[in-house]
Structure 1
Amino acid sequence: MADGNMTQPSARTLAQHRQLASTGQYATVMADTLAERGVGIEAARQAMAHTQDLEGRLAAFGTLSENSRNLARQHYAQALAAGTAGAEAVTQAVNAALGSAGEHSQRQIQGVGGPRPSMDVGHSWDHGDGLRQKVQDGLTARLARQIGLKYDPTVGRDFATMEMGDMAMQLVRATGARPINRGEAIRMAVGSHSTSDFVLATQGSLENVLARGLEARTPEIERAARFTTRPDYRESFSLSLTESSTPQEVAEAGEIKYVTVDEKGEKNPVLRDFASGLAVSNKAIANDRIDLLGGVAAAMLRAANVRKRIVMLEPIETNMVMRDGVAMFHADHGNLADSGGAPDVTTVGAAVKAMRTQKGPFGEVLAISPAFLIVPPDLETVAQKVVAALTPATVGEVNPWSGKLEVLVEPGLTDPAAWYIAADPARFDGLLWATKDDMTFPVVESKPGWTTLGLEFRLVWALDATFIETATWYKNPGA
């Protein structure tokens, strides 16, 4: 093992570590950190033996951002490179992540639930934050099963089959209180404030389920959009070039021609806040009505997915006006069919040709490749036939679009006749959707019920979507 001091790794060393990371052994941020500290590849394989434990601990803290998780992974690799024992390195790494999360928590929406406290994992899973995370992990597993999601508990396996009243009892007793029965434990657990371990565990488990549900049940239109995050709610614009960025020939003793980069492109997503509220009574908790809490989770998941779909479809459905004052789909942009028609080899061919021949603002050929044929449910069968693989008897029967376009059926499209083709958002800018950087998934906030005995929850999410390029989408209004 190296001494842990940072050095500039050789390209070979860095490549070896990243190759090992690509096989799933550990994260890329760990690979770079180990390489920078001179840890050899074989030593790295042995040192990373506790990585699974680290990832399990991080997974238990469902509200941690990806930035906080990567910070933990980096600290873990640094500690290992410095010779720290694996288990101790894991604890140091989790503490670093929670310290970062605690700073973020104080900046979250204050609301009726108040700020979320920062957390310190300590060395025990039998009380305090450790016990709360075990309960949260187990409750997440119960809720996930209730709404049909797969989730395997890690640190909270013992709580994955426990009733909510018993969870409340354990959490309350861990504080030194001695409730006489589950009903009293629940009243003490819910209490008059939003920072009790039971409230935070329930809140965290709902956030976990929402995050996993949104990942598993994404709207179809999301496949054709690129995701980003925004740091705030301010208006900003995408970058553009004052002249073509194509490299120009430089004559002998000639000068390189520079271009200027500025924010003269299309407007980036401007975040908007969305929220909804739900409640669970003390009686439901005492009766272990996991179906009701699962119903809250399912309702929040449906609401979040509906809102995401609506937001992402707004630029399409409204044919938003671009920065040049012209609608997104317009003859001036070369992305609207002259006359409508149902999807077939001819109409799709015209759309593909129009996209492939699009030019940039300086006359440069953009060479955009279409990836998706996007249709409402009414056109699903027709669209599938257009791109279906054929077994031709003659050359003339070959379908030129077979295997070239993927059909996306988006039920949120309201015009039953209109259809679109779109480029791969990973290669070409087009539809862009964004959330706030600390709200990649919806945030769940809670407070004790005021008009009823129990817990009240609200879901808060900041997001928006917009087109930042006209050449990568094409519309045919249909027959």
Structure 2
Amino acid sequence: MVTRAASIARSDDKQRTVDVVWTTGARVARYSWARDEEFDEELVVEPSALRLERLNSGAPFLDTHRSYGLDSILGVVVEGSVRIEGGKGYATIRLSDREEVEPIWRDMQAGIIRNVSVGYKVHKYERTAKADRKDGGKRALYRAIEWEPMEISAVAIGADAGAQLREEANTGVGPVIIEKGRKMPDGTKTPSAGDEKQIRALFTRNGFESEAQAAIERGMSVEDAREHLQELQATRDAEFGPVSEPDLSGMQRGGASMAEAMQAALVHRHSQNTTLPQEAQRFAEMTVPELAVEWCRSMGINYRGGNAGAIDAAMQTRGAVGYHSTSDFPSILSGAMGLLVLDQYQVARSAVMQASRERTFDDFREVTGARISGSVEFDKVLESGEYKYGQVKDGGEKIKLATYGKILAVTRQALINDSAGAFERLPQIIGTGAAETEGNLLAGMFAENSGAGPVLSDDNPVFHESRDNIGTAAAIDTASLSEGFVKLRRQRGLGGEVLAITPTFLIVAPEKETEALQAVADLYAASSEDVNVFARRLQVLVEPRFEDPLRWYLAAAPGRPESLVHGYLRGQRGPQITTRVGFEVDGMEIKGSMDFATGFMDWRGWIMNPGATAD
């Protein structure tokens, strides 16, 4: 199915109907990328040339040719309203009463939405070669003498921007699918050896190697063979579905629903953490080249050269059309890549993140974390007495966003081959790389100053004797955990107030994992003395990036108080994916970037134990 722009003529408020002129069949100049040919196209608008049964039986009125969901149906062509008069096609459209259609109906009444486009299929044509034209035409003429309108759509931008209300004469450039007969050469003669070689190369290059010998045996010249090849390409295009040149109406035909379904299928194919929507099931087993073929068919894009041609055509859709769209084929791959990156990123994130409070930053300026504290104990107020002022102290550490990133590329060859290393490995690399960056920055802070952590604004590291947040070096057992609990619960605010901190996490290196799990295990106790008092009270977090195998930590829940923090630029949480279709180098470049910051805003809420080997 292909499309052609038209216009809205008038509306009926009571019946919620609009009259449209959906075709004038105007002759337009065209160019076929597949056949490398300029030609004129003309739709014959006569009752004998049109199959109107489908359109006149209540065909749908769609939103920009989208046909992948019921929500895209805006209304219906009123049965029996389609007619052909004076070389034009007329129809009456009745809009749905659904609430979401109401704004579209109002815009049509107000003349804001003025363009419609017809989707149609050509079944038969009449071709006149350039040399045989008597009207002074400079190109071959293709006249669609049997064609079928399939649906009518409201569109934002028609293929012809001049197709406005009551200006139907110039209806736009809608490409057609052409089936045509073969033109036989005059007489039969054997082509020269040079011509034969050129004919074989021409047919082979365009995927019709088996047809080359037949053309030679029929005595075709190179020019006749080239014209016959164009006919074969047109027939092949018709068999494979809709084809067209990239234009604005073509960009609308695929629609967001199809793009989202393809994207969901790609993500589901490479991730076990997603469910496959019903509308995406038809794409579930398709490779990237097969999706490109399907995309080209839907968008009406001519291509040649099998899977390679489909990939090339689909990847260049945006550039050829001239508009950026979230539903072009590169964006489908980019969107799927982004979701797979986030999937890998979530899996690979540092466990220590669970003990860190996430913040949002508005820009890249340095931010000072406020620590406001003071005595909160109320004084007794006597009758007619006055309230006393309490003392408030403040302090804070500084933190600032930085940008991290890397550019990788997937080659055109990899996309065509659909190798697992192209579309599955790259998201894993980028997602894991982003998580590794975060984890290394976090673990690096704990390694600073020989394991004492970064220096804070009071010129002491996070873990320091003056803070009483370092435990006696010991293995993880009841005694050492008890000491840590006491130290955390005894921590006080700036004004000396009790913070009542509850330990939540036990954080260890891999070497201490078994020891930590045993220390908090909920085991059956034979007597009250054997009960594990720490069972179910601590969550064990294992960080493989910790350099010291013995050191372990107790930490409060994030923000209670605010101690370890991490954050991202507003609206840019986690890794962000940007893609660019290559020009100098064939393929697609993928840039993974992240605006990230982490740091200690306070030392309170953490206890460090230097650790020891368990007996």
TM over 0.5: yes
Q: Match of 2:397?
A: 266
Contact 1:149–1:213 (8 Å) recurs in 2 = no
Larger strand fraction of residues: 2
Q: Which of residues 452, 469, 477 in structure 1 aligns to 2:602?
A: 469
Contact 2:344–2:432 (8 Å) recurs in 1 = no
Amino acid at match of 1:345: T
The answer to whether the aligner puts 1:282 opposite 2:399 as a matched pair is no
**Cα deviation digits, residues 363-405 of structure 1 (max 9, x gap):** 1111111011111111112222222224333333333322222
Larger helix fraction of residues: 1
Contact 1:209–1:297 (8 Å) recurs in 2 = yes
| Within-5 A mapping of 1:100-249 | 126-144=253-271, 148-153=272-277, 155-180=279-304, 181-191=306-316, 193=319, 195=324, 197-241=328-372, 243-249=374-380
The answer to whether the aligner puts 1:313 opposite 2:440 as a matched pair is no
Shift in alpha-carbon separation, 1:204–1:253, aligned structure 2, 3 A = farther
Shift in alpha-carbon separation, 1:177–1:398, aligned structure 2, 3 A = closer
Contact 1:334–1:471 (8 Å) recurs in 2 = no
Q: Distance in 2 between matches of 1:263 and 1:426?
A: 17
Shift of 1:88: 5.1
Q: Distance in 2 between matches of 1:285 and 1:260?
A: 66
**Cα deviation digits, residues 40-73 of structure 1 (max 9, x gap):** xxxxxxxxxxxxxxxx99xxxxxxxxxxxxxxxx
Scaled by the length of structure 1, the TM-score of the pair is 0.68
Larger RCO: Structure 1 or Structure 2 (Cα < 8 Å, ≥ 6 residues apart)?
1
Amino acid at match of 2:443: L
Aligned length: 363
Amino acid at match of 1:225: S
**Cα deviation digits, residues 16-61 of structure 1 (max 9, x gap):** xxxxxxxxxxxxxxxxxxxxxxxxxxxxxxxxxxxxxxxx99xxxx
Q: Structure 1 vs Structure 2: percent identity of aligned residues?
A: 28
Q: Compare CA radii of gyration and give the structure with the larger one.
A: 2
**Cα deviation digits, residues 186-217 of structure 1 (max 9, x gap):** 11222385947111111111111222333344
Moved more, 162-171 or 451-460: 162-171
Q: Match of 1:40?
A: none
Q: Match of 1:351?
A: 484
1:215 is paired with a residue of what secondary structure?
Answer: helix
Q: Distance in 1 between matches of 2:587 and 2:379?
A: 69
Contact 2:412–2:588 (8 Å) recurs in 1 = yes
Contact 1:377–1:410 (8 Å) recurs in 2 = yes
Shift in alpha-carbon separation, 1:262–1:367, aligned structure 2, 3 A = closer
Shift in alpha-carbon separation, 1:258–1:312, aligned structure 2, 3 A = farther
1:127 is paired with a residue of what secondary structure?
Answer: helix
Scaled by the length of structure 2, the TM-score of the pair is 0.54
Q: Match of 2:78?
A: none
Q: Distance in 2 between matches of 1:155 and 1:246?
A: 62
Shift of 1:415: 0.2
Amino acid at match of 2:544: P
Shift in alpha-carbon separation, 1:142–1:195, aligned structure 2, 3 A = farther
1:227 is paired with a residue of what secondary structure?
Answer: strand
Structure 1 segments unaligned to the other structure (5+ residues): 1-55, 58-83, 92-121
Q: Match of 1:327?
A: 461
Q: Which of residues 366, 374, 377 in structure 1 aligns to 2:507?
A: 374
Q: Distance in 2 between matches of 1:182 and 1:291?
A: 18
Q: Which of residues 586, 598, 603 in structure 2 aligns to 1:453?
A: 586
Shift of 1:315: 2.5
Contact 2:373–2:394 (8 Å) recurs in 1 = no
Shift of 1:455: 0.8
**Cα deviation digits, residues 104-137 of structure 1 (max 9, x gap):** xxxxxxxxxxxxxxxxxx9x99524443333222
Amino acid at match of 2:545: G
Q: Distance in 2 between matches of 1:137 and 1:258?
A: 60
